[in-house]
Amino acid sequence: MNTDISAIREVLLARIETLDDKASILRSPELKQLFAGIKDQPAEKRAAYGQAVNAVKVELEEIVARSQEKADDRAPIDVTAPWDVNATLSLLIPTTHGTVHPLTQEIEKIADIFARMGFAVSESREIDDQYHMFETLNFPKGHPARDDYDTFMTVETDKDDDPFIAPAHTSTMQNRALVAGRAKLEAGEPIAVVVPDRVFRNEDLDARHEHTFYQVEGIYVAQGVHAGMLIATLQKFLESYYGTELEVRVNPFYFPFTEPSFEFALSCPFCGAKTEDNSKGGDPNCKVCSGEGWIELLGCGMIHPNVLKAADIDPNEYTGFAFGCGIDRLVMMKYGIEDVRHFESAKLDFLEQFS
Ligand code: PHE
């Protein structure tokens, strides 16, 4: 064998013993150099030289293959074995754990507060129909308020030739809660349900608007329910959630499914309005309420008789209230989060703050 070749072979055989990644020897500069040298040989020696170079490569490949077989023979990894934290850290393998999403954490707190007030907690769904989104909520076909909800709809249609919808509010669950609760009324108990879940709207996105966000719907029906009970329930809920006393302001509003309807504002938990007048109270530098001192938070009202009738509940015998509160807003205000889009952004820097 050519002396060059045998010298380099010795070097490579010695080195491969020391390598963890034995296959890397096949990419070594020395081996490349041997192959590159073939073309420089005089014609009569070229074939023999080439064969000798190739023999070195085959020899190395066999060593690599044997080492891999050996690796496969190693004992299986025992995943139940005690974990050596320091050894892991020393390898700089990340050891952080995932955390529960801040909205999930807050939804649990919200559900817990309502549960303590006697409400059952139920879930919505991510695909629904026109009947629950509109018809049972007193939006007849062609009602202009149907357009207020920027509802995503499917191309496929149901048996009535209507598209399916991605619920644009948790009120799609009102009729179901009422129908399921009828027996309770007959047994002399109230219907008291909250539904915290995800809703979808075809919105232009900005710091305050997401296409996917969360609401909590509240439904309460019994004999003699009145608007004072609605306001007291919401005030108690918000005070428990923020852990502070709050003033609330109730303005008239319009929803087809409640009559009367209200928009509910609370004094800013950060800079706190102490006046009924929007122009006064509140800190002009407050990032949360922009100095207004009040924050419009949710829609609510007394359940419209037609909504009760659609669930076969006699509006002359029973009355009720309903509310729908944006959860993202509530959480943003609690923690001073300035952009709703952080929630769906999968930014770990943001999410890890809530671990
Ligand atoms: N569903 C309404 C909305 O999303 C809020 C609401 C719920 C109003 C229940 C009244 C009663 O705008």
Distance between CA 281 and CA 294 in Å, rounded? Answer: 9
pLDDT at 199: 97
Distance 2 CA to ligand 1 centre (A): 89
Given a cut of 90, whether residue 183 has pLDDT beyond it is yes
pLDDT tens figures, 124-179: 999 999 999 999 999 988 888 888 899 999 999 999 899 999 999 999 999 999 99
Distance between CA 149 and CA 255 in Å, rounded? Answer: 11
* Residues 106 and 334: beta-carbon distance below 8 Å: yes
Q: Is 288 helix (H, G, I), strand (E, B) or coil?
A: coil
pLDDT at 68: 82
How large is the average pLDDT for residues 60-88?
79
Distance 323 CA to ligand 1 centre (A): 6
Q: Is 249 helix (H, G, I), strand (E, B) or coil?
A: strand
pLDDT tens figures, 275-334: 555 455 678 888 777 788 888 889 999 999 999 999 999 999 999 999 999 999 999 988
CA 185 to chain centroid, in Å, comes to 36
Q: Ligand 1 atom 2: the closest Cα is on which residue?
A: 324
Could you tell me which residues come within 8 angstroms of residue 138 by beta carbon, excluding any fewer than 6 positions away? 256, 257, 304, 306, 307, 310
Distance 297 CA to ligand 1 centre (A): 11
Distance 171 CA to ligand 1 centre (A): 6
| 232 CB neighbour count, 10 Å cutoff | 11
pLDDT tens figures, 28-65: 999 999 999 899 899 998 999 999 999 999 999 999 98
pLDDT at 106: 97
* Residues 167, 143, 259: CA angle, nearest 5 degrees: 80
Nearest atom in ligand 1 to the alpha carbon of residue 218 is 9
Counting Cβ atoms within 10 Å, is residue 180 exposed (0-12), middle (13-18) or buried (19+)? middle
Pocket perturbation via mutation, ligand 1, pick of 165, 169, 170, 230 by most ligand atoms within 8 A of CB: 169
pLDDT tens figures, 189-225: 999 999 999 999 998 888 888 999 999 999 999 999 9
Distance 185 CA to ligand 1 centre (A): 23
The number of residues in the chain equals: 355
Given a cut of 70, whether residue 93 has pLDDT beyond it is no
Pocket perturbation via mutation, ligand 1, pick of 255, 262, 319, 321 by most ligand atoms within 8 A of CB: 255
Distance 26 CA to ligand 1 centre (A): 69
